[in-house]
Amino acid sequence: MIGQSRVAELEMPGAAVEGVSSRPAQSYWNESWERIRANRVGLAAGILILVFALIAIAAPLFSALLTHFLPQTIDLDVTFHPPGKPNWLGTDELGRDTLTRLIWGGRVTLGVAFLTVAISLTVGSYVGMLAGYYGKWVDDILMRLVDTVLAIPAIFLFILMSILFRPNPITLAIIIASVGWGGVARLVRGEVLSVKERDFILATRSIGARDFRLMLRHLLPNVLPVLIVSASLGVGQIILIEAALDFLGLGIQPPTPSWGNMLTNAESYFFHSFWLVIWPGIAIFATVLASNIFGNAIRDAFDPRLKS
């Protein structure tokens, strides 16, 4: 794919012009997409995340049509039921269906992860963009703010904020994002600093573009690859943080299931009902691994030079 566009670069005045028009436009995005598609493992990881996300979105559908249980339905007659029928992945100490809780827990866990990433990216890229673009005192103030945020031991901040605001999925996302945006801001700032020195930014300024247009129309798309990579790697990290908080009892509160608090809950029954630990463990493990692999795949696709 890369070779083809190279050939077209050779301009022969008067010749070879005719064939040119039939060649499809290969954008940066097209080429990156081609490279992702060529990376089987990366693509599989991406599909896994997508499947998990779809299952999570369709959780009510699944529990109604597939498992025929609700996540909070207690049935004390079937406690600690091992995997089998009708509870495919077994039941917990209150007789709740593990598969159903896993699906609903994914909804919470993935929901928190995606929401956190969305908040950190939005805030972080605004701050990084402003700091990198305007420089000088704007940069100083914003980046010292980022330094400050990143200097606070995150886990203590999470614990403190979890105590202050009793966490539901949305407040939990805000709590985790309140630290996460700092890293994104630094990343975006660095990228903006390098992109804004490139000639096309000066050229765009010379046609009378406003700062707003330069930032959103011209700088942002050039920073986007970095953001996408950071988003997909971020999902994994945030799931781990969220699981850790749940495990400490500071995250999503029972009876609402999340993968993290399912683990916490299962801790005491590990020896006689190991499946209660295995399933949420696998779910977390697989999602985090997939998100890391997919993140790396995207990074390689956007910048093939990194992969050697």
Partner 1 sequence: MTQPLLEVQDLRTVFTTKDGIVKAVDGVSFELLPGETLGIVGESGCGKSVTALSIMRLQRPGKILGGKVMFKGQDLTRVSEYEMREVRGKEIAMIFQDPMTSLNPVFRVGWQVAEPNRIHQGWDAKKAMTSAVSMLQRVGIPSAASRARDYPHQFSGGMRQRAMIAMGLTTTPQVLIADEPTTALDVTIQAQILDLLRTVNKDFGTATILITHNLGVVAGMCERVIVMYAGKIVEAGPTKDVFANPKHPYTWSLLKSIPRLDEDRHEPLKPIEGLPPSLVDLPSGCAFHPRCSFKVERCSRDVPALLRVGETQLAACWVTQAGTELKGA
Residue 282 tokens, joined: 């696998």
Which has the closest alpha carbon to 299: 42, 5, 88? Answer: 42
Chain positions 2 to 21 lying near partner 1, rule: CB under 8 A, are 5, 8-11, 13, 17, 20-21
* Contact partners, residue 125, CB within 8 Å, separation at least 6: 184, 185, 188, 220, 223, 227
Among 79, 204, 253, 292, contact with partner 1 (rule: CB under 8 A): 204
Which has the closest alpha carbon to 60: 12, 16, 103, 124? Answer: 103
Could you give the string, one character per residue 18-57, with x where binding to partner 1 holds by CB under 8 A and - elsewhere?
--xx-x-xxxx-----------------------------
Among 58, 78, 159, 205, contact with partner 1 (rule: CB under 8 A): 205
Residue 202 tokens, joined: 């000066």
Radius of gyration of the chain (CA): 24
198 binds partner 1 (CB under 8 A): yes
66 binds partner 1 (CB under 8 A): no
Among 36, 75, 171, 213, contact with partner 1 (rule: CB under 8 A): 213
User: Between residues 166 and 217, which has the closer beta carbon with respect to partner 1?
Assistant: 217
Among 40, 76, 77, 208, contact with partner 1 (rule: CB under 8 A): 208
203 binds partner 1 (CB under 8 A): yes
Which has the closest alpha carbon to 243: 257, 225, 219, 259? Answer: 259
Q: What is the DSSP string of 100-139?
A: HHHHHHHHHHHHHHHHHHHHHHHHHHHHHHHHHHH-HHHH
Cβ–Cβ < 8 Å for 246, 257: no
Among 221, 249, 254, 304, contact with partner 1 (rule: CB under 8 A): 221
User: Between residues 134 and 269, which has the closer beta carbon with respect to partner 1?
Assistant: 134
Shortest approach of partner 1 to residue 135 CB, angstroms? 9
